[in-house]
Amino acid sequence: MSRFMTLAGVAAVVAIVIGALAIGLPQPQGGIGGTAATFAPSQGGGSPSPTSAPASPTIGPLETSAWQTYTSTRYDFTIGHPVGWRVQPAIRDWSLATDGDDWLSPAHEAFINPAGQGIRVSAWSVPRDPSAGAMRGGTSIEGWQDLEVWLTAFCEQGLDTPCTGLHERAVPLCLEKRDCHPGLLVPFESEVLAFFTNGGEGTPVTVVAVWWGENEPAVRPYGGSRKLLEAFLSTMNVQPAEDSPFQESRSAAASFVASAP
């Protein structure tokens, strides 16, 4: 059974147990780039199927000023997490062959909500080197289109989930407002992930993942999994591309989204 099928089954059980407690909590709204597709578990704990989220007041960006800071010496990044969340440090470097299809990989820097909701957020870096097949480092990633090509190869080799429609779902991000290094946020059925890099030749791609679907009860207090991911990304100086002060970045982002067939 794939990790996505397993997660969907767990989500269905959790939803039954805490569903009554979730009544009245705000429903998630679209964040970066507009309204995202939302998903709900199908009957019997199978693969989630698309559904429309009920209308509710929009939840703004999460306040992260009081979040605790964690520095990954293994992957050379700093990330914030909510106070009280448990940190599970990576015990080894991530590799495609060993960790590509493992959402519980011990190579992830993981942040876990201990309040019984089962929310898990992971962050790690994917190396780009000649021995990593499609994740080779011989070509620099200079823009969103380059990152999309890389992401397609990574999804097909390193994610156990359908990789179709990435272009339609991917939303441009900027690592650092001034330079706007390319990033993409992509919702999947049972999780939402972000990928970004500083664009240099051979530099790794950093991945941050919230392992819950957008409309699961556990993430509703945060405005949905996407809002929660956006909050984690903001602590890493990653933000929506349209917030970049450079008009060319905003125009390029708009052209990228508009070019979807």
pLDDT of residue 132: 46
pLDDT at 101: 82
Q: Which residues of the chain have pLDDT under 50?
A: 1-57, 130-134, 136-138, 246-247, 250
Q: For residues 159 and 171, what is the distance between their CA atoms, to the nearest angstrom?
A: 18
pLDDT reported for residue 20: 39
Structure tokens at 29: 């709204």
pLDDT of residue 100: 85
Helix 247-258 crosses helix 144-158 at what angle (to 10 degrees)? Answer: 50
Q: Which of 196, 212, 213 lies closest to 204 in space, CA to CA?
A: 196
pLDDT of residue 27: 36
Cβ within 8 Å of residue 242, ≥6 positions away: 33, 172, 250, 253, 254
* 190-211 per-residue burial string, b: 16 or more CB within 10 A, e: under 16: bbbbbbbbebeeebbbbbbbbb
**Model pLDDT, residue 15:** 43
Give the pLDDT score at 129. Answer: 58
Q: Under a CB-based contact definition with an 8 Å cutoff, are residues 253 and 144 in contact?
A: yes
Q: How much is the pLDDT for 67?
A: 97
CA dist., res. 194 & res. 237, Å (int): 13
| β pairing state of 109-112 and 38-40 | unpaired
Q: Could you give the domains of the chain? A: 3-22+67-258 (3.40.1000)
- Tell me if residue 81 falls in helix, strand or coil: strand
Buried b / exposed e across 97-122, counting CB within 10 Å, b at 16+?
Answer: eebbeebebebbbbbbbeeebbbbbb
Please give the structure tokens belonging to residue 21: 């407690």
Residue 257's pLDDT is what? 55
